[in-house]
Amino acid sequence: MSNDHLKFYDKEDRASALPRLFAGAIVGHTTTNTARIWVRAHTPGDYYLIVSTNPLPESGQPYDIHGQQLRVEDSTGLTTVIGELHEISLKYSTDVTGVIDLDNLKAGTRYYYGLFSLLKKRSERWEVGRDAQLSFCTQPADVERCVFGFYSCHMPFKGGNAYNMDMWSMFADVLEDNDSDFLIGGGDQVYTDGDKSIDIWRWLVKHLKEVAQLSDSKQRDVMLSWYRDIYRSYWGANSTKQVYRSYPNYMIWDDHEIMDGWGSYTDAELADKLDTIFQWQNTATNLTLARNMFYCARQVYYEYQHSHNPHTPFGPKAEDCQWDYTFRWGPLSFFVMDMRGHRRYDPAQKANPAYNPVLGDDQWARLTSWLSAPDNNEDAFFLVSPVPVIHANDYIVNVADINALGLADDLRDEWDHYSNQHERNRLLKECFTLSQNTGKPVVFLSGDVHVGASFSLFCRQYPGARLYQITSSAITYAKTPGGLLKLIVKNRGKLSNSDMDIDYERLGDVFPGRNFSLMKYQKVNGKSQLFWDLYGKSGEIDNAVIKLKRVHILYP
């Protein structure tokens, strides 16, 4: 018997308030001489990516490949298009997505690209690149200036409608006006459980008994269609596609790419939560369903996000996968932390200083190596931490886990929760040491909490160190869990339960509306400058995004 009725892939009853993503491109990890280009086509088949230092023709259809060059046919005949060709076969097994790795590129050079088919039966053979001239720029050999964007929490749906999508158009304008180099998505680029009109966990409830009777492989088959549909529903708007295809993108997931609070429950609590969702008590079945959903979340996260990040190991088992990664942009060094792939809350380990519930042991080894081995050519160090290191009052975070308010998972996500404090303390000690030894700032970049905010951190044991917490969230949906976390963003305070004397101070006001940000680096007369600009908008009528505040991190 077919399981197609359990899938909502392109089903009419899955009408979306936004256009679905059928074909598109994302520029991924880019260096001075390499780039990764992600593509999706509307149908499986063999395609070619053309990459050229010249703009591609605005008219005509791909005709054939002659002498390793594309020929385009228009009303005047055949024209040769100069550029490198890269063949790729796109299949349903990866949701018609794939990545082309480009090499031997030139530093600081703009490249134009497009994806096409040579099937003669197609009237339109340009798959990507017909509606706009697509291009990206490689890193310059010597970075004297760098601007990058940061955003998180893309959840525009409410009551079956879409809101706030103008933020993406404004983001594109600000990125272009500031001649930006790349951008970072700091987590929750999609929500599997955001609005009930597009909540795949609700869909599981609707078909629970049928799905539970399937084998693991068949469960995963239908669940993959759900997760893939989420990405296609969230990423199909032209404004989002414009940002993704125009700049190198670096992405990391958070809980909503999987399920709200993933990794912040014990097995028993997860089973209980699924009982509440499913209204059906069977712990073993619930956990099997949840683990199969996590398997599919990993697979689809790889297909749509991680595959165009810097390469790391990936396999069918959770322990085969490395989601954290590093990259450089001139003198700016980045470590992007994975806080979901190996997260495991275990209250029995709260007194164990060697337990790493957030990052896991393997990631900690890589992070320690990065923190302890700078090459002395860095001007700043950035750690992307999807959940802020400094944000909420730790007393409220820890009091009874706030289970009665249904916020246990949100508060356990916090670095300041008692279960994570040993790990947080080690992280901060390593970062203060790095900044003290190098004389360079360490900056945490975060999302998750649906506010724009910034903090500076001080430690008396490391008087020369400069640490900053920068938070920018959410780009399309400003909602704080229960309204609580927004209310407990403190002006200043002292980090509790730490063997170091750490104070923190908020820099400027907290902005609870929709926002994104830019980090700007430049050298002036041989001296480095680094500052952060927060852009935001509140209200539905005013269509103008404004620069809310500037934080100077390096300013001679």
pLDDT at position 314, please?
95
For residues 105 and 34, the answer to whether their CB atoms sit within 8 Å is: yes
Q: What is the mean pLDDT of residues 491-516?
A: 84
- What is the pLDDT, as a whole number, of residue 405? 42
Residue 412 — pLDDT band, cuts 50, 70, 90? low
Quick check: 404 pLDDT over 50?
A: no
Is 419 in the same domain as 462? yes
Q: Is residue 57 part of a domain?
A: yes
**Residue 287 confidence class, pLDDT cut points 50, 70, 90:** confident
Domain extent at residue 178: 145-554
Regarding whether 286 and 233 lie in a shared domain, the answer is: yes
Q: Sort 442 into a burial class: Cβ within 10 Å, 0-12 / 13-18 / 19+.
A: buried
Q: Identify the residue whose tokens are 């900690």.
A: 364
Kindly report the CATH number assigned to the domain that includes residue 440. 3.60.21.10
**The predicted structure's pLDDT at residue 294:** 93
258-262, 330-334, 399-403: least confidently modelled range: 399-403
Assign 12 a pLDDT band (cuts: 50, 70, 90).
Answer: low
Q: Which of 137, 170, 186 is the last residue of a domain?
A: 137
Strand order in the sheet with 325-329: 325-329, 332-336, 380-384, 442-446, 467-471, 453-459, 502-506, 492-494
Are 93 and 212 in the same domain?
no
Q: Is 17 contained in some domain?
A: no
Answer whether residue 229 is part of any domain.
yes
Q: What is the mean pLDDT of the chain?
A: 87
> Which of 506, 376, 387, 356 lies closest to 434 in space, CA to CA?
376
Could you tell me if 330 and 283 lie in one domain? yes
Is 0.85 surpassed by the pTM of this model?
Answer: yes
* Residue that is last in its domain, among 105, 137, 169: 137
183, 516 Cβ separation under 8 angstroms: no
Confirm whether 492 is domain-assigned: yes
Average confidence (pLDDT) over 255-269: 82
Per residue in 216-250, pLDDT (tens digit) is 999 999 999 999 999 999 999 999 999 999 999 99
How far apart, in whole angstroms, are the C-alpha atoms of residue 412 and residue 418? 8
> Domains in the chain: how many in total?
2
How far apart are alpha carbons 280 and 298 in whole angstroms? 26
Domain containing residue 122: CATH number: 2.60.40
Q: Are residues 126 and 267 in the same domain?
A: no
pLDDT at 541: 47
In a domain, 401, yes or no: yes
Segment 118-130 shows an average pLDDT of 94
The average pLDDT across 62-75 equals 94
pLDDT computed for residue 393 by the predictor? 52
Residue 27 lies in a domain: no
Residue bearing the bigger pLDDT, 479 or 137: 137
Q: Does 1 fall in a domain? A: no
Share of the chain above pLDDT 90, in %: 62
Among 137, 159, 190, which residue terminates a domain?
137
* Identity of the residue numbered 14: R
Least confident of 123-127, 317-321, 432-436, 535-539: 535-539
